[in-house]
Structure 1
Amino acid sequence: MKTGSCLCGAVAFEITGELRPSVACHCTQCRKTSGHYWSATQVPDAQFNLTKDEGLTWYQSSKSARRGFCRHCGSALFWQMDGEGATSIGTGTLDGATGLHTSKHIFVKDKGDYYDIADGLPQLDTY
């Protein structure tokens, strides 16, 4: 089991089962919500449990997806695609060592011009 939370602790969660490798998203929405690109793992909703949600707020960021964040400290935490049955979880919100690695970069056509991607991982223009 893995645990995680926002910066202030008003949102906390547990994850059971295997975590997907982290994916780095460079789309404009992820860059706007995080201040840079956003890296996330993902689990089926059945393996995701909120243990504290007093600060959790959901924002409908597009017609087909929403983002969860803490309304107290501003931490960007979750992303959910409508009907997918899975939750993407900001890798940096996990407690302790994750054992994860980044597997690829997505939406690199939207990346900021102030950085380069030079880690040799696959780079996709979209998803």
Structure 2
Amino acid sequence: MNGQCVCGETIFEVELKNHDVHVCHCSICRRQTSGVIMTIDVEQGSLKFLKQDHLSVYNSSAWGERGFCNVCGTTLFWRTKDQNYCNINVFSLNEQPKDLNLDMEIYIDCKPEFYAFENSTKKLTEADVVALFNAESSDQN
């Protein structure tokens, strides 16, 4: 699948792991997007940039980094620094699969009270997410 930023200065191709969409309610995603970000997991190593002169990567935590176009500001991906896990902004795809499924909400304990999604999803707290990534990094060592 192909995707890009709003202005077209950053273009990529990627292989999706599945069609499950995840929502992040963490304070960084909410500040970065003025809402939530909806992402989809990609196959490890499949995110390839075809045009990347304006791709920037921000080290957002001890174990994660965010990619964005430094011309238009489009959020493109979040990945672990070891690049064992990566997801992309589902709306950066040129065409979304027809069978997308809103599957999970993470950092649910950080979600403001004034909004909620109607459908039922798996819900992970900040502690759940941190434990998940700490367990994965321990498995790698």
TM over 0.5: yes
Matched residue, 1:33: 32
Matched residue, 2:7: 8
- Pairwise CA distance, 1:17: 5.4
Q: 1:18 to 1:62 in 2, by over 3 A?
A: closer
Matched residue, 1:43: 42
Report the secondary structure of 2:124's partner residue: coil
Q: Give, in whole Å, the separation in 2 of the partners of 1:9 and 1:45.
A: 24
Kindly tell me the number of residue pairs found equivalent between the two proteins: 126
Identical pairs, percent: 26
Matched residue, 1:97: 96
Matched residue, 1:76: 75
The correspondence of residues 11-22 of structure 1 with structure 2, limited to 5 A, is 11-16=10-15, 18-22=17-21
Alpha-carbon contact 2:11-2:52 (below 8 Å) kept: yes
Matched residue, 2:133: none
| Structure 1 portions without partners, runs of 5+ | none
Q: Give, in whole Å, the separation in 2 of the partners of 1:73 and 1:54.
A: 13
TM-score of the two chains, using structure 2 as the length reference? 0.81
TM-score of the two chains, using structure 1 as the length reference? 0.89
| Structure 2 portions without partners, runs of 5+ | 130-141
Matched residue, 1:118: 118
Q: Give, in whole Å, the separation in 1 of the partners of 2:17 and 2:36.
A: 23
